[in-house]
């Protein structure tokens, strides 16, 4: 992993949460255009953030497990298709 990837991956959680400044956001976006590893890490972070935001305490745990399993399967299929 090079220095840019290391920086981007450190910033991904705050970028996904929408709290990076304009310069950092642009750096991450430009880097992810050319780096599949960081782009996938960003997609994963955004997915996890959405799941956490939508989760409510009264939703049965089994429902969340099914959603997570389906998302992982979708990501696995996408990864296979990219090869």
SS (H, E, C) 19-60: CCCHHHHHHHHHHHHHCHHHHHHHHHHHHHHHHHHHCCCCCC
> Percentage of the chain with pLDDT > 70?
83
What pLDDT digit, counting tens, does each position of 43-58 carry? 888 888 766 656 555 6
Give me the pLDDT at residue 46, please: 84
What pLDDT digit, counting tens, does each position of 6-23 carry? 999 999 988 888 889 999
């Amino acid at each position: 992993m090079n220095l840019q990837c290391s920086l981007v991956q450190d910033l991904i959680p705050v970028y996904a949460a929408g709290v990076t400044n304009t310069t950092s956001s642009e750096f991450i976006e430009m880097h992810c255009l050319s780096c599949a590893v960081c782009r996938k890490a960003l997609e994963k972070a955004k997915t996890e953030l959405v799941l956490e935001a939508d989760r409510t305490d009264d939703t049965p745990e089994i429902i969340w497990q099914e959603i997570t399993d389906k998302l992982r399967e979708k990501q696995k299929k996408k990864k296979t298709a990219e090869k």
